[in-house]
Chains A and B, each alone.
Chain A
Amino acid sequence: DAKTTQPNSMESNEEEPVHLPCNHSTISGTDYIHWYRQLPSQGPEYVIHGLTSNVNNRMASLAIAEDRKSSTLILHRATLRDAAVYYCILRDVGGNTPLVFGKGTRLSVIA
């Protein structure tokens, strides 16, 4: 079963920053925090992942709490193309463990 808790839905205005929260209070020391998103009628796509330190890439930033029991995906300037379901997933560092998806957060972006 998914070990993360996310809000069902969020709304943002276009060109504003978006902060998507995720709680994972039972995270273990070997769990990485992964984020994927799923655009309408497409398969999920990788966004970002991290262990302890904050991470940045061209798509987003990941802020991880010091106790690792929560994290926040940050989209710096939301566009209409960012409207999607965002999944926060814990994945053990060992091997090619599969992803266990919850229901995610449906992000709507308003023009």
Chain B
Amino acid sequence: EAGVAQSPRYKIIEKRQSVAFWCNPISGHATLYWYQQILGQGPKLLIQFQNNGVVDDSQLPKDRFSAERLKGVDSTLKIQPAKLEDSAVYLCASSLAGVYNSPLHFGNGTRLTVT
């Protein structure tokens, strides 16, 4: 099966600019997650969707980050305006809904550098 697709693979922007990341989950996976991974740390959850509804966005910095999942398939994560501390790898993951312990399948991420 095709895996989780993310683009772009790399992005370099200046602080105060905006940026958007795109994610296409595995077909049939209703649950979608965005994680932020800062160098040397484990991934940190930003937001979780079930279909096109938000399940958990408690750790999303809503003053600058936004995410949407129109039609319950693809998702975009946006940062506006970016700060230096947003430099990280942004990982998208998906899993089956309604299945206990359904594993998360991760994409290879987008590496963001803010200068």
Contacts and interface: CB of A to CB of B under 8 A. Distances in A.
Interface of A: 2, 32, 34, 36, 41-46, 49, 85, 87, 91, 93-94, 96, 98-104
Contacts, number: 60
Interface residues of B, number: 31
B45 A100 contact: yes
Interface of B: 4, 31, 33, 35, 40-45, 48, 50, 55-56, 91, 93, 95-109
9 contacts: A34-B101, A42-B108, A43-B107, A44-B91, A46-B104, A93-B100, A98-B45, A101-B35, A102-B42
A100 B101 CA distance: 14
Interface of A is mostly: loop
A22 B95 CA distance: 25
A103 B41 contact: yes
B108 A99 contact: no
A92 to B, nearest CB: 10
